[in-house]
Amino acid sequence: MIKIGLDIGSTTVKCVALDENNNILYKTYERHYSQITNKISELLQKIRKEVPNADDALIAMSGSAGMGVADACGIDFIQEVYATRVAANTFIPKTDVVIELGGEDAKILFLSGGMEVRMNGSCAGGTGAFIDQMATLLNVPIEELNDLAEKHEKIYTIASRCGVFAKTDIQPLLNQGAKKTDVAASIFMAVVNQTIAGLAQGREITGNIVYLGGPLTFIPQLRAGFDKALKTTGICPENSLYYVALGSALCAEKKADLDNTIAKIEVYKGTGNFAFNKPLFQNQQELDAFRKRHASATVKRGELKNHSGNVFVGIDAGSTTVKGVVIDEKGTLLYSEYMSNSGNPVPIVKNFLTHIYEANPNIKITGSAVTGYGEEIIKNAFGIDYGIVETIAHLTAAKKFMPDVEFIIDIGGQDIKCFKIRGGVIDNIFLNEACSSGCGSFLQTFANALGYSAEEFSKLGLLARQPVDLGSRCTVFMNSSVKQAQKDGATIEDISAGLCLSVVKNALYKVIRVSSPRELGSKIVVQGGTFLNDAVLRAFEQEMGTNVIRPEISGLMGAYGAALYAKSLSDQKSTSTILTTQQLSVFQHEIKSVNCGGCSNNCRLTINTFSDGRKFIAGNRCERPVTKKSPDESMNIYQYKLKLLKGYQPQEGKRGKIGIPMGLNLFELLPFWHTFLTKLGFEVVTSPLSTRKLYLHGQQTIPSDTVCFPAKLMHGHIQWLLDNGITNIFYPCMSYNFDEKLGDNHYNCPVVAYYPEVIHANVSEIEKVQFFHEFVGIHRPKDFPKKIYIELQKYYGDITLKEVKEASKAAYSEYNTYLEKIRAYGENIVEKARSEGKEIIVLAGRPYHVDPEINHGIDKLITSFDVAIISEDIVSHHEKKKKTGVLNQWTYHSRMYAAAEYVSGYDDMNLVQLVSFGCGVDAITTDEVRAILERNGKIYTQIKIDEITNLGAVKIRLRSLLAATKQGKGQ
């Protein structure tokens, strides 16, 4: 009897028919463009025609998108991982491990030695879809991505968490001129790391490895990446695309009359039950009125061709597009271009400038300015006069349309920027965090995936009757929500409108965290390319319940603002330093990438060389590679703390070596434990400061892929100690931290408190050493010696209570000395900054944010703006416990509330909060710190940090903060 297996994936349908001996009679693999039921019935009809005796075959269905259809049509549903397993056992009996990547899923199946199946968590997003997205970003087809990767020389670090993260890594690389070949290979490596880190969870991937699924079948370089990482050669079997379909065919037990089944599938329309919002427009009239209203926000236009006066050039080198404008002295728009940025903005800007010179060879460019991600390289490449931070550019442009504007929201290809304006000055800035960026480009990618252009797609939604409610979460989740809605019978129109609504909701509720239009004021200007989309604009007005202004040049506002800015600064008689026609005609640009090696950050530098021999270095965090001098670190408490910690060196002792992993709370407690253990006669060895390599070394044992990055790093540190032959490791559990009397309680967060337990449970090698991970209470100095003595006895029977008591005394004393030292140094920084008239930034985070791999050199970046840095623990002790709007119960976080109160008392101090991605506690602290600062008229700035190394967004925030402070003071 014939067995038919169907695999309905997120993007494709696979179908096989087998005979009694499991020979494949028929197979097909097709994209379904979300027209799932049509595709299935089409395939089944084909099988009926082409395969003899298929009329009453056994049939079963599998795949993430097949569940609802299968149920409704009375076909047995086989879970897809299970199906893979059945197929692998049948066709490749000696398989040990299967690695399967699909459109959106990543799976590892351990078949031998205790069967286990792992699927990616709901956060890790798609892998096939991710590669698709990246290919779109690089503007190449997938096959070419593979060819590019083959020729790579270097691998860049790209965050391996989810597509959106990786995008924020890749974009700056491209903007800085990294080679596409290297980027392509780095993308594949990111997928490899993501799969291994996310799914192996401590289990080794060895033996006979089989690669399955679309991406691994079609992309040899991806397979090569896995081979390299796993130090093995896996096989990609014949029919590697069909394993799920084969498995479901093998599992098929139910006989089905094919005609009947086809009939059932054809009438299947889903449940029709999906959550939806009200339509964007009730009817065509409403839509017409809306269009008419928005057509009035225009800018005066003129001709560049015969213009004889002074002109100003503005360029916005954004993440996915490059915009350029030319204006005259009255702000009349003479010329503009909106160009897609396929990775490298330099040739695009060159073309733009060439076009200007062609249009008007006698042009008098008096001033020019550039903004956006590509600001630095464009400024250097073309001799642009000014570089300005995006926020200021947009504000300048918006004021031209609405002088008393109160709120500006800009949704671009990859980022959302919003700022509140009070008294003409930027008062508060909201930028999207790495996790929800990519909203505008997401619409585009989605439209393409469904077979539409972005423009067509967004128009579909305008008159949709039931816009799907897709929520306001990260774009990866939306992918699955869309599929669900489709299954439930939502039309393409409903989905289009729903996606536009989601973009708006993301901006409002995730980025700005607004709950009513009242908070934003009544004078709102919206801009950015995404708002050119009427559906998004309408969704915004609808969601906010207020009408807004969308300038006709909505997509050009950054460039227009830059031009206006150049105009405001340029002396009328001066000439711009911008390249002339002649210079432009011989312009050449070469890119080389090298590793800096000047310090532990090991920045990957991109060296751009221009035709006249000028050089521009990108990717650096500090000035060292440019000036060849070490940066001045005297005004940076983070560097001072590192220096102090370095002082705790091993001292030989009678009890031998004991290792302390340098992560999480042990950063601050090193003085305490180092002294304690040294006094007890141990030689205390610490793991080195974190590096990427150290992290990757431990990533196989991370059990939860959504835990914060600092916790993940701990695995690398433990691994380092193990690799270095340390046989005693000290990493105690601590529910409580020191009580600094600043809060209602003095807990550690659950992750900090109990991470030693995770290490114990998941790092298998730890069983071979003495791993002290008992619970200790340093918050009770009186009880501490007695209690820890009992725990120590379990490991080191010869230690006496007397020894412990003495060691404890010394430890507490050393900890206090350490605090005094950093506080004294901090006070010095403040004094010196004040005498030199420098701004002071309190870079508030946790003690472990001192680790350069965690803070990505943000401290150095800040000092490069010529400001002084102290940390929250330098000032918190000046404050007394105050009432907070939340339960103030974690020691580290209490310090931040206190620091926010303290900062509020000084004009020359601002607080910047470092937040680890995935830190649940910070969902509470960020709102509270913001509330304290805003209550006191201060600007709140938050920087989310993760594995990402992109400092572009960080720069925008800090420059905006400093610019706003300066503007505020000027008033």
Site for another protein in 716-735 (CB under 8 A): 733, 735
Distances, alpha carbon 61 to alpha carbons 366, 661, 836, in Å: 68, 49, 72
User: CB-wise, 359 or 769, nearer to another protein?
Assistant: 769
By CB under 8 A, tell whether 787 contacts another protein.
yes
Residue among 606, 634, 628 at smallest CA distance from 619:
606
User: CB-wise, 119 or 421, nearer to another protein?
Assistant: 119
State the minimum distance, in angstroms, from the CB of residue 761 to another protein.
Answer: 4
- The torsion angles phi and psi of 479, rounded to 5 degrees, stand at -50, -50
By CB under 8 A, tell whether 483 contacts another protein.
yes
Long-range interactions of 650-655: CB distance < 8 A, separation 24+: 650/683, 650/684, 650/685, 650/686, 651/678, 651/683, 651/684, 652/683, 653/678, 653/680, 653/681, 653/682, 653/683, 654/681, 655/680, 655/681, 655/682, 655/683, 655/796
State which of positions 491-520 bind another protein (CB under 8 A).
509-510, 513, 515-516
State the minimum distance, in angstroms, from the CB of residue 113 to another protein.
Answer: 11
141, 656, 885, 905: which one binds another protein (CB under 8 A): 885
State which of positions 927-956 bind another protein (CB under 8 A).
927
902/126 Cα distance (integer angstroms): 44
By CB under 8 A, tell whether 417 contacts another protein.
no
By CB under 8 A, tell whether 773 contacts another protein.
yes
State which of positions 328-347 bind another protein (CB under 8 A).
none
Tokens matching residue 274: 């999906």
User: CB-wise, 586 or 923, nearer to another protein?
Assistant: 923
State the minimum distance, in angstroms, from the CB of residue 221 to another protein.
Answer: 29
By CB under 8 A, tell whether 711 contacts another protein.
yes
Instruction: Show the site string, 182-221: x = touches another protein by CB under 8 A, - = not.
Output: -------------------xx-------------------
Tokens matching residue 452: 């539409």
State the minimum distance, in angstroms, from the CB of residue 65 to another protein.
Answer: 8
By CB under 8 A, tell whether 82 contacts another protein.
yes
Residue 533's region, left for phi above 0, alpha for psi from -120 to 50, else beta, is: beta
903/936 Cα distance (integer angstroms): 9
State the minimum distance, in angstroms, from the CB of residue 477 to another protein.
Answer: 4
886, 908, 967, 968: which one binds another protein (CB under 8 A): 886
Q: For another protein, how many residues bind (rule: CB under 8 A)?
A: 84
- The torsion angles phi and psi of 947, rounded to 5 degrees, stand at -65, -20
By CB under 8 A, tell whether 922 contacts another protein.
yes
648/642 Cα distance (integer angstroms): 11
Distances, alpha carbon 790 to alpha carbons 674, 785, 794, 795, in Å: 19, 9, 7, 10
State which of positions 265-304 bind another protein (CB under 8 A).
275
Strands 106-110 and 97-101: antiparallel
117, 142, 569, 596: which one binds another protein (CB under 8 A): 117
What is residue 228's three-state secondary structure? helix
User: CB-wise, 116 or 652, nearer to another protein?
Assistant: 116
Residues in the chain: 971
451, 597, 688, 920: which one binds another protein (CB under 8 A): 920
State the minimum distance, in angstroms, from the CB of residue 706 to another protein.
Answer: 5
By CB under 8 A, tell whether 881 contacts another protein.
no
Contacts of 114 (CB under 8 A, 6+ apart): none
The one segment of 64-72, 169-177, 685-693, 899-907 that binds another protein by CB under 8 A: 64-72
The one segment of 11-19, 75-83, 577-585, 810-818 that binds another protein by CB under 8 A: 75-83
**If you ran DSSP here, which 8-state letter would residue 546 be given?**
S
Strands 604-610 and 615-618: antiparallel
By CB under 8 A, tell whether 67 contacts another protein.
yes
The one segment of 61-69, 255-263, 352-360, 527-535 that binds another protein by CB under 8 A: 61-69
State the minimum distance, in angstroms, from the CB of residue 764 to another protein.
Answer: 8
State which of positions 732-771 bind another protein (CB under 8 A).
733, 735-736, 745, 747-751, 753-755, 757-758, 760-762
Side chain identity at residue 879, one-letter code: E
318/562 Cα distance (integer angstroms): 13
User: CB-wise, 261 or 502, nearer to another protein?
Assistant: 502
State the minimum distance, in angstroms, from the CB of residue 513 to another protein.
Answer: 7
Distances, alpha carbon 449 to alpha carbons 34, 112, 132, in Å: 9, 38, 9
845/850 Cα distance (integer angstroms): 9
By CB under 8 A, tell whether 926 contacts another protein.
yes
Side chain identity at residue 315, one-letter code: I
Helix (H) or strand (E) holding 256: none
480, 491, 542, 602: which one binds another protein (CB under 8 A): 480
77, 156, 226, 695: which one binds another protein (CB under 8 A): 77
Q: Are 516 and 490 in contact (CB under 8 A)?
A: no
By CB under 8 A, tell whether 812 contacts another protein.
no
User: CB-wise, 295 or 761, nearer to another protein?
Assistant: 761
90, 112, 122, 271: which one binds another protein (CB under 8 A): 122
The count of other CB atoms within 10 Å of the CB of residue 128 is 25
By CB under 8 A, tell whether 542 contacts another protein.
no
State the minimum distance, in angstroms, from the CB of residue 35 to another protein.
Answer: 18
User: CB-wise, 487 or 957, nearer to another protein?
Assistant: 487
- The torsion angles phi and psi of 315, rounded to 5 degrees, stand at -130, 135
